[in-house]
Amino acid sequence: MVMNVLRVSRWPVALLLGWMGGWAVDTSLVVAEEASPAELARQLRSDDADTRRAALEKLAAHPDQARQVFPDLIKRFRDPVPELRVLAAKAVAGTGEAGQKWLPHFIRLFHDHDTMPDDKPVSYHVARIVGQVMGKAVLDDLITLLKEGDVAERRGACVAIYEIGPEAKAAVPVLVELLESGSNDVNLESLYALRGIGPAAEEALPALIRALDSQNMHTQYWAAQALAAMGEKAVPAVPTLIRKLKTGTASVRRHAAIALGKIGPKIGKAGIDALIEAMGDFSFVVREDTLDALARLGPAAAKAGPVIQEKLVERKLEPIGKALYTYWRITGQSDFVEPRFLARMKDLNGIIEAVPELAKMGRAAAFAVPKLVELTRNTDPVVRLLSVEALGKIGVSNDAVKEALQERLAKEDDEDVRAAAETALKSLAGEAEQSGDM
């Protein structure tokens, strides 16, 4: 073992604790163990999974040490524990250029379908690591996989390309070729990769529009997602998206609505009219995503304002909270929404549905602050969490708000609520400092 003394800044604390406690102090406060490369290599060979895990976590955090134990580290790509195989990949990828020469070992893990605790396979996690950490440096290798690899390798390459994002633009022609090859093996993954590339994948626009009319429902809504990621570059797809909003399955209709909202005001009168009509869709999720799309359009969708108002008055539009927020985003008017938001905050379902929408209004939701302060003391932890988060986002920092948040910080049993209260207090303090109130 190599024993490294901690930074000098820790010594005053250690000395004070030693003086107060007659030097009956845990020496871990003064001295920290750092394993040598030889010791880490030994730990990687251990029969104990926890020992191997600890070594891999250290190596993932310290690339310089990882470079010194490559032979033993690479062997962990075949560790019997799936999570440790992913940790080994993370440690190797983190070494930069030195780790890139081991790319074939990553590619072999594209075939690894053992599941992780999140129910996603090792292959998915490793492909994400390749894209996020190795990035554009291995793009040529990934394009070669798209052309020459087997199904598992092409799928892994698509996931990695999604993570690389716009810098993977060079892969677009090959992805389009895969999408239109007539094989269903990797068309969804190709759409996923194009979605990650976003507006830089404009070259794929004709193929994506054709994919909206695929016989496969999944291909249709994944194509809509890829078009949504392209934003206003996807304007040529608007007529087909409008048609799918009217005729597709519920999943296709909702993603068509999302795409129209993300394309923006350039969807024109026809697109806005189609979204207004879709507010009456029998599917709750389609109505929900349609309202989100109209809210994203804001004042450009002004003609939807009176329709939303009329439907809310007649109680013919749900979810109510989202509809109220959308009306406010479109019109900028608060008089209509204020009493209706407060009315939604009287029962559990109404609170859960409306408070997150209210929080999006920022300072314009100041009218709800007294009620939200009251809800921070509700018996239901979900209600407390939502109200605390909303107070942080609305940004009104008065004595009642501070007291309510500090009370949650001091008395709260639920970890999520306590963490949200801490975040909200920091946010309010930051805003006050910026405005010169502190």
Task: Answer whether residue 391 is part of any domain.
Answer: yes
- One pLDDT digit (tens) per residue for the chain, 438 residues: 333 333 333 333 333 333 333 334 343 333 334 679 999 999 999 999 999 999 999 999 999 999 999 999 999 999 999 999 999 999 999 999 999 999 999 999 999 999 999 999 999 999 999 999 999 999 999 999 999 999 999 999 999 999 999 999 999 999 999 999 877 789 999 999 999 999 999 999 999 999 999 999 999 999 999 999 999 999 999 999 999 999 999 999 999 999 999 999 999 999 999 999 999 999 999 999 999 999 999 999 999 999 999 999 999 999 999 999 999 999 999 999 999 999 999 999 999 999 999 999 999 999 999 999 999 999 999 999 999 999 999 999 999 999 999 999 999 999 999 999 999 999 998 866 666 554
CATH number at residue 419: 1.25.10.10
Whether 300 and 407 map to the same domain: the answer is no
The answer to whether residues 392 and 304 belong to one domain is no
Q: Identify whether 30 is part of a domain.
A: yes
276 and 218 part of one domain:
yes
Q: Minimal CA–CA distance to 189: which of 214, 165, 164, 219?
A: 219
In this structure, the answer to whether residues 235 and 300 fall within a common structural domain is yes
Q: Is residue 5 part of a domain?
A: yes
Domains contained in the chain, number: 3
Question: For residue 235, is it within any domain?
Answer: yes
Owning domain of residue 422: 371-438
Q: Is 47 helix (H, G, I), strand (E, B) or coil?
A: coil
Tell me the C-alpha distance between 312 and 320, whole Å: 7
Domain-embedded: residue 108: no
Q: Are residues 322 and 228 in the same domain?
A: yes
pTM higher than 0.75: yes
> 406 and 294: one domain?
no
Please report whether residue 358 resides in a domain: no
Domain co-membership, 279 together with 393: no
Return the SS3 of 115. Answer: strand
Residue 394 within any structural domain of the chain = yes
Widest pairwise Cα distance in the chain: 80
Q: Are residues 324 and 219 in the same domain?
A: yes
Query: Rounded to 10 degrees, what is the CA torsion of 267, 271, 276, 277?
Result: -170
CA distance 256 to 259: 5
| Half-sphere CA count of 234, side-chain side, radius 13 A | 35
Evaluate whether residue 131 is within a structural domain.
Answer: no
Give which of 356, 320, 353 is closest to 339, Cα–Cα. Answer: 320
- Helix (H) / strand (E) element for 93: namely helix 82-93
Q: Identify whether residues 254 and 311 lie together within a single domain.
A: yes
Is 4 strand, coil or helix? strand
Contact (Cβ atoms closer than 8 angstroms) between residue 408 and residue 376: yes
Which residues are paired to 32 by β-bridges? 4
